[in-house]
Amino acid sequence: MSATTESGPARQPVRPPAADRAGKRRRKGRGATRVHPALYLFPLPALAVYIVFFAIPTLQAVQYSTTDWDGFSADYENVGLGNFERLATNDDLFTNALSNNLKFMIVVVVFQTLLGLLLAIFLVRNTTGSLLLRGLFFFPTILSSVSVAYIWKFVYDPNFGLANTVLEAVGLEQFTSSYLGNDAAAIYWVALTQIWFHAGQMMVIFIAGLQMVPSELYEAAEIDGAGKWRQFTSITWPMIAPATAIVVAYTTIQSFKAFDLILGLSGNPPRHSLDILSTRIYSTFTNSQFGYAAAESLVFMAFIAAIVIVQRRLLKLTQKDV
């Protein structure tokens, strides 16, 4: 209403721009044409794989989650929502795993993103030195999780491990630790391993984002007298927001899938201080509680879905800002 008052009422319909009209024609045309039906057969193999390996197991998990099935018996009882009720109200092991997973996720997301960005900023130029260092920092990414776990198991071993040996060698014995044996800190030591493992990968995504920023923007900013920090906050950061969103989403999902890293570092079953959701579900399956494990899996799936939805919204917001 205020717009009408200020600029006056529109007297005649506004014609859309020519490009829009052409687009509409194309869309209308596509809707009217018929595609050869054989083309619809092409997605069938992928669809079949999806149905067999994802849709059906998911549906079955829903079915199992309402039972007390042990995974092998012919008999089972329907327990309705009992498994979910127990999960929500009477399972400290699951709550502990959830808590560990959240701590792990927060530390990994924050520090892996920051480290990836820092490395990218320092190594964005395509010089020989930068290329070599990029390769070096990216190297851990190509290792398998189990190899990484064994490398870091050696680092963290309190008796013969690298960390304590180095600390003792430089006279810092007071800082030696049992690392993974320290319940209060264990999950953060695993987070450190995860950051080492994947920061190089995030660096590559950030470098791709940084190289998309037009250099003219920095030149203009320099002419306007903006310092390095101002250039970063006003140009670099907003321009790499999409890359940041991808890194954060990817890192979050990764932190829920650290299953093999945890089992490699702590053994199976992991001690309570290192139990995360995926390892808890595995332990529950191992303990012949198939129905309950299925309920845990569904909650786990819902949890990841919720986080991904939130992150997608954040991604849209950041893109809008750009």
Partner 1 sequence: MTQRSSGIGNSITRRRALQLLGLGGIATVSAVSSACAGPGSGEGGEQQGGSGGDELATGGPVEGEISFAHWRAEDQDVLEELFAQFTEEYPDASVSQDISPSNDYQSSALQRIRSGNIGDLFVAFRGAQFVDMVNAGLYADLSGTDVVDLYQPDLIEAGAQDGTQYGLPYQLVFNQPVTNLDMLESVGITEPPPDWDSFLAMCEDLLAADVIPMAWPGGEIGNAGHLFNCMVMNNAPSDDMCVKIETGEYKCTDDWFLRTLEQYAELRPYFQSNATGTAVEPAQQLFAEGQAAIMVTGSFHIAAARELGADFPMGMLAPITVSADEMKYEGIHNATFILGVNTASDNQAAAMELLRFLSAPEPASTYANGTAQHLTVTDVEYENEDLATNEEWLQKQTLLAPRFQFTDLDIRNAAEQACIDVVGGDSPEQAAEAAQQIIDQRVDA
Site residues (vs partner 1, CB under 8 A): 32-38, 40, 44, 47-48, 51-52, 55-56, 59-60, 63-64, 67, 69-76, 86, 90-93, 153, 156-160, 164, 176-183, 266-269, 271-272, 282-288, 290-292
Residue type for position 112: Q
Please name which of 152, 246, 237 lies closest in space to residue 202, comparing C-alpha atoms. 246
Query: How far apart are CB 44 and partner 1 at their closest, in Å?
Result: 8
Query: How far apart are CB 166 and partner 1 at their closest, in Å?
Result: 15
Q: Toward partner 1, which CB reaches closer, 104 or 179?
A: 179
Helix extents (H) in the chain: 2-7, 18-32, 44-50, 56-64, 82-89, 92-122, 128-138, 145-156, 162-169, 186-211, 215-223, 228-231, 237-239, 241-256, 259-266, 277-286, 290-321
Q: Toward partner 1, which CB reaches closer, 228 or 257?
A: 257
Q: Toward partner 1, which CB reaches closer, 126 or 268?
A: 268
Q: How many CB atoms lie within 10 A of CB 316?
A: 11
Q: Toward partner 1, which CB reaches closer, 103 or 272?
A: 272
Query: How far apart are CB 186 and partner 1 at their closest, in Å?
Result: 8
Query: How far apart are CB 33 and partner 1 at their closest, in Å?
Result: 6
Q: Toward partner 1, which CB reaches closer, 42 or 229?
A: 42
3-state secondary structure of 81: coil
Dmax over CA atoms of the chain, in Å, equals 85
Q: Toward partner 1, which CB reaches closer, 73 or 126?
A: 73
Which residues does 95 contact at the CB level (< 8 Å), separation at least 6?
Answer: none
Query: How far apart are CB 192 and partner 1 at their closest, in Å?
Result: 14
How far apart, in whole angstroms, are the C-alpha atoms of residue 244 and residue 120? 12
261, 197 Cβ separation under 8 angstroms: yes
Query: How far apart are CB 150 and partner 1 at their closest, in Å?
Result: 11
How far apart, in whole angstroms, are the C-alpha atoms of residue 83 and residue 293? 9
Query: How far apart are CB 31 and partner 1 at their closest, in Å?
Result: 9
Any idea which residue has 């800002």 for tokens?
Answer: 321
Q: Toward partner 1, which CB reaches closer, 60 or 144?
A: 60
How far apart, in whole angstroms, are the C-alpha atoms of residue 276 and residue 291? 19
